[in-house]
A = this chain, B = another copy of it.
Amino acid sequence: MGELMKAEIIAVGTELLMGQIANTNAQYISGRLPEAGIGVYYHSVVGDNPLRLIECLDLAIKRSDIIILTGGLGPTKDDLTKETVAEIFGRKLVLHQESLDKIIKFFEKINKPMVESNKKQALLPEGSIVIENNNGTAPGCIIEEGGKVVIMLPGPPKEMKPMFDDTVLKYFNSKSNVKIVSKFIRIFGIGESSMEEKIIDLIDNQTNPTIAPYAKDGEVTLRVTANCGIDDDGEKIIEPTIKEIKNRLGDAVYSTENKNLEEVVGELLIKNNISISFAESCTGGLLSAKLTDIPGISSVYSGGMVTYSNEIKQHNLNVNATTLNLYGAVSSQTAKEMAVNIRKVMKTKLGLSVTGIAGPGGATENKPVGLVYVGLADEKGVDCIELRLWGDRNRIRNNTVLNALDMIRRYILKNCNAI
């Protein structure tokens, strides 16, 4: 087993130094490079300034084997990554006809005129390996020289990510003799410290694979990482650990494939052919938007309602005026009626409802911000859970969606066959 190659990521863009965006590209690339046996040792961010970029590159070439640059491949004058790298390596920028053709076609497809400056994007350092961009106009490229590898990728994550996945990772995989394989176990419905207590002996005593927990927005993820040769079956090294963790945490584990909760729930609904509809109040369509992120969901999801006001709850969803007056819109009684009624209106097997106070306004003495009810009805009856969430409007809405999805997941695990 050889040594890990050392990589560093340089993001180019004044917008990062102004705080307009976070460097999520470095995060994404860092998360994936270990799969190709590459360790990330540094991230740097530098502005659209050729002198400072040259200094950063000089240092990077000294201390790292692999340098991945993101950003600065756009059509404007500020974009100077290729120009600067080409200068450092004494290479000319030459027209790559295939890339130019692609750019021209791209503008035809989106039915907009190509301006002259876009041609600059087809100029690439002489002798570099070109990385196709199927989601934008800037191709990337790879330069190999003196045992170093310099890779340039565009800044927009939607362009960068597929180029990294489809080309860069494969490029490295063909060169490395070691790799790091990670699996992510996703967990919902148990806190980070309770989870840690249940598996602390595994975390402390294992060296290959290792287990590292991290918590994020109401969810917990465990990363299980094996270190192995490029031809070894890393998953096999990891498998017994995953099994043991699943044994200890039970239904709280919702994915060992790093899937989102909405993906898992969408798949469960589709596999079991369970139709569902939503009546959303405080989430305002967010739950429905999350589930319809999943391609093919239309076979089980045909629609829903956003019943934001009491009038709509009453007149369009037939919630009893008495229920609303007596218990209020944010109550288990209203949630239950909403779930039962949306199921009938939309003619689905399941009906799920959400009603709560997302804040910042709307709280009363007995009903604080963060109080949410989620109802779930089937042909036999209706269930309801009460949530007491904290944080800002955004956090409360997102956590409500996670809890609602988890309620569906647990319903299917309990009541259905195809898992």
Query: Which A residues fall within an 8 A CB radius of B?
Result: 11, 13-24, 26-32, 34, 39-48, 52, 55-56, 59, 63, 74-76, 78, 109-113, 115, 117-118, 135, 156, 158, 182, 184, 191-194, 196-197, 212-217, 221, 223, 225, 278, 280, 283-289, 291-293, 295-296, 298, 301-309, 311-312, 316, 345-346, 359-361, 388, 390-395, 397
Which among A22, A193, A345 has the greatest number of chain B C-beta atoms within 10 A?
A: A193
Q: Are B212 and A78 in contact (CB under 8 A)?
A: yes
Across the two chains, which residue of chain B brings its CB closest to A113?
B194
Are A21 and B27 also in contact (CB < 8 A) when A288-B285, A303-B308, A303-B316 are? yes
CA A115 – CA B117 in complex, angstroms?
61
Q: Give every chain B residue within 8 A of A110 (Cβ-Cβ).
A: 388, 390
Across the two chains, which residue of chain B brings its CB closest to A19?
B31
CA A372 – CA B187 in complex, angstroms?
37
- Closest chain-B Cβ to A279's Cβ sits at a distance in Å of 10
> 17 other contacts beyond A41-B46, A117-B193, A303-B308, with CB at 8 A cut-off?
A15-B212, A16-B30, A18-B182, A19-B31, A19-B40, A22-B22, A22-B27, A110-B390, A112-B194, A135-B392, A156-B216, A158-B217, A284-B288, A285-B289, A303-B316, A304-B305, A305-B305
CA A44 – CA B361 in complex, angstroms?
40
Are A40 and B17 also in contact (CB < 8 A) when A292-B284, A302-B308, A312-B302 are? yes
CA A316 – CA B367 in complex, angstroms?
33
Q: Are B316 and A308 in contact (CB under 8 A)?
A: no
Q: Are B46 and A42 in contact (CB under 8 A)?
A: yes
CA A20 – CA B283 in complex, angstroms?
27
Are A23 and B21 also in contact (CB < 8 A) when A43-B45, A284-B291 are? no
Query: Which of these, B24, B34, B76, B309, contacts A213 with CB under 8 Å?
Result: B76
